[in-house]
């Protein structure tokens, strides 16, 4: 899929009422999600191991910048994918604001290419902020949690 086709898809999704859209063509998978509140579109593209990336990944929504301050640390996403706050739809979230976590404790899941990757805390402390919502697309290095 060439860059112009990707750009057309982004424009079509932004003009529609769709909240989520995925397409796969020749080993390239593009997933788009519209944030209903801000009307930003987050686009993630991935390819299978056999294919090579011809075009750069397109992102139209800004990733929030969170700086670590004295006494607080930021847990960032190690990969691009869909964030889940609980192991399944009926389960309660792994953590909530105010919870005290230990190093290695599971904070959430990022699904990438049908693989569920547990996001573990790199720090000990209290969850001060959860910066993403359930089923939100996340980017590599995007801040997910603030622990203080």
By C-alpha distance, which of 7, 130, 139 is closest to 63?
A: 139
Can you say whether residue 98 is alpha, beta or left, with left for phi > 0 and alpha for psi between -120 and 50 degrees? left
Q: Domain limits of the chain?
A: 3-47, 73-147
Q: Tell me, what's the pLDDT at 45?
A: 54
Q: Which fold has domain 73-147?
A: OB fold (Dihydrolipoamide Acetyltransferase, E2P) (2.40.50)
C-alpha of 112 from chain center: 9
Reported as a single tens digit per residue, the pLDDT across 26-83 is 667 777 766 555 445 555 555 554 444 444 444 434 444 455 555 689 999 999 999 9
pLDDT reading at 20 higher than 60: yes
Please give the full DSSP string across 61-94, using - where no structure is assigned.
Answer: SPPPP----TT-EEEE-SSSEEEESSSSTTSPPS
What is the Cα–Cα distance from 106 to 85, expressed in whole angstroms? 10
């Amino acid at each position: 899929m060439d860059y112009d086709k990707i750009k057309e898809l982004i424009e079509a999704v932004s003009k529609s009422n769709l909240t989520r859209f995925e397409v796969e063509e020749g080993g390239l998978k593009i997933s788009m999600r519209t944030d209903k509140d801000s009307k930003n579109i987050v686009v993630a593209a991935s390819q299978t191991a056999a294919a090579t990336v011809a075009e750069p990944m397109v992102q139209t929504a800004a990733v929030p910048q969170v700086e670590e301050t004295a006494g607080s640390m930021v847990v960032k996403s190690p990969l691009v994918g869909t964030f889940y706050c609980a192991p399944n739809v009926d389960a309660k979230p792994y953590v909530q604001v105010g919870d005290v976590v230990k190093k290695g404790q599971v904070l959430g899941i990022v699904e990438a290419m049908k693989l569920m990757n547990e996001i573990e805390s790199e720090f000990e402390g209290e969850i001060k902020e959860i910066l993403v919502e359930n089923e939100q697309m996340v980017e590599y290095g995007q801040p997910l949690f603030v622990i203080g």
